[in-house]
Structure 1
Amino acid sequence: MSSLTHDQIFRLFRDYREPIVAFLMRRVQCPETALDLSQETYLRLVRKETLAHAENLPAYLFRTAERLAIDYLRQNRQTFVSADSLADDLTCPKLSPDELASLRQQCEILLDAIASLPGKCRHVFLLRKIDDLSYGEIAARLGISEKTVQRQLVKAMLHCHRRMQDPQFGLNGNFR
């Protein structure tokens, strides 16, 4: 039985830190975890009062690192198992068939509302909402004033809003 000096521990750290981290990285597949486990390996060496086999300290380090990796992987596996037991409480991030059908219906109503807009009004609306042009750019492209662009946009938005609030409102294609 022998005890380690700080100088011996420093040399071990200097000489074997990178190989230990690489060894752990192959085991746990995570650079941060490998670094953490490497630190813990050296802390365990420092905490040891005496070592039975001080003649082969690198082997002791690798064995300690291997055991820490095994413990980590076991604990990580248990975390996944307990996460599976919670799966019944979790909701699926995908839309339900009813939600999807409702969303499709809303899209159809909106597309129908846009299609039923008068040509100039629809063109202004699409240039603003789809092409993301400014009022000035739309006015220049269509040869109208910015005030007219604003009025046409308000008209289009109100029409679409009415259609979305009451789908039966404009199915006959009436525009107000």
Structure 2
Amino acid sequence: MQTELDRWFIHEILVHEEALMRFLHRHWPHRDELHDLRQELYTRIYEAGAKSRPTQPRAFLFASARHLMTDRLRRGKVVSIEPMGDFEPSLVLVDEVSPERWCGGRQALRRLADAFDRLPDRCREVVWLRRVEELSQKDVASRLGISEKTVEKHIAKGMRLLADALYTGEAPARAQSGAADAAARRQAD
């Protein structure tokens, strides 16, 4: 005995089977899968029709066919990752920290800390708040009572000095106060 859904499916969907098969034949490269594709499509359409009948069944059928082919193509591109067997423990690379690497890391960290300590006071404070405490540029500016543009300049200067110190291996010279700096320039002249 046919239900209303069965009658709808026969009169609105199955009548387009010949056009659907031509469409699938034109667009799907694997001819041996055409019947499975059609069957899966019919299942999807029937289940969707049980929930709500589309107002344009033919358009719904062909749009669903395009979506199904797209889904299948996507699934075909997924590479499954399955173990191929046990690996010999000796073949597994273990990233152990050698004493040389550990010591080199400690030395680089020491150089960075020294370079950071030698930054000008305000520059060091801005870099700390922005990069270590991860405050926004606006928050740093409001906390220190300076403009955001000044924060930008301090960050740029601090990062440049730190990069130079790490690249050359020399910490930046400790900044002098404005008066001491002017006196040092006069002596050099």
TM-score, normalised with respect to structure 2: 0.45
TM-score, normalised with respect to structure 1: 0.48
